[in-house]
Amino acid sequence: MKRVCAVRRAILISVILAVALPAWSQQATSSISVTGAIAKPFTLMTADLAQMPRAMVTMSNGGIETRYEGVWMHEILQRASVPLGEALRGKALATYVIAEAQDGYQVVFSVGELDPAMTNAEILVADTSNGKPLFGDNGTFRLVIPNDKRGARSVRMLTKLEIVQLRK
C-alpha cells in the first residue's frame, strides 16, 4: 500500500512539473534584445523600460477595458540610433523592424510607420496591464497597437526587436 502511494505521489509530481516548468520558462525571459542593423546592439530589461519616457493606452476587448503602460516603440528606436524625424529619408525609409515573440511569432513594421513625425500610428511596448506587471500568456513584454482593427500584430511574449536595412 505504501509503495502504491509513493508511485502515485511520484506520478503526481511528474505531472505538476510537466505543467509548471513550461509556464515558468515563459516567464524566464524578461528582456528584449535590440539587434540588427544598428551600431551597438543592446538588451532592455524591465528596469530599463521603467527609466524611459512612459506612456499609457486603454484597449477594449469584448467590453473589457485594459490599461497598458510601457514605452513607445519609437523611444526604443531612438535609443538604437535608428534614423527618425527629418533624418528618416532616402535609404533609411527601406528599414524595417521585426518584432519577435518567445514562441517564434514574428511581425514586421516599417520604420516609417513607427516614426511619430511621419504617422499618427502608436505602438506601445507594454510591461504593465492595469497597473500590474505582465505575466503568464502575455509574457513580460507585449506590443499594444491601439489603432489596429485586429490584434494580430500585438505580439505577446516579446523578446526581440531586429532592425533590418534593405539592400538594393
Tell me the mean pLDDT in the region 109-129: 94
CATH code of residue 46: 3.90.420.10
With respect to residue 138, please indicate whether it lies within any of the assigned structural domains.
yes
Distance CA 163, CA 37 (A): 5
With respect to residue 73, please indicate whether it lies within any of the assigned structural domains.
yes
The secondary structure of 40-74, three-state, reads: CCEEEEHHHHHHCCCEEEEEEECCEEEEEEEEEHH
What pLDDT score was predicted for residue 62?
84
First to last CA, the chain: 74
With respect to residue 45, please indicate whether it lies within any of the assigned structural domains.
yes
With respect to residue 151, please indicate whether it lies within any of the assigned structural domains.
yes
With respect to residue 63, please indicate whether it lies within any of the assigned structural domains.
yes
**Chain-centre distance for alpha carbon 104:** 12
With respect to residue 16, please indicate whether it lies within any of the assigned structural domains.
no
Which cell numbers hold the place of 155?
505580439
With respect to residue 24, please indicate whether it lies within any of the assigned structural domains.
no
Distances (CA, A) of 146 to 48, 59, 132: 23, 6, 19
Mean pLDDT for the chain?
Answer: 86
What pLDDT score was predicted for residue 26?
42
Q: Give percent above pLDDT 90 in the chain.
A: 68
- Residue whose entry in the numeric block shows the C-alpha cell 527601406: 94
Domain that holds residue 40: 30-165
With respect to residue 66, please indicate whether it lies within any of the assigned structural domains.
yes
The dihedrals phi and psi of 76, each to the nearest 5 degrees, come to -70, -40
Residue 160 has a CB neighbour count (10 Å cut-off) of 19
Residue 44 in this model has a pLDDT that exceeds 70 = yes
Number of domains observed in the structure of the chain: 1
Please check whether residue 57 is in contact with residue 124, taking contact to mean a CB–CB distance below 8 angstroms.
Answer: yes
Q: pLDDT-derived band of residue 148, with 50, 70 and 90 as boundaries?
A: confident
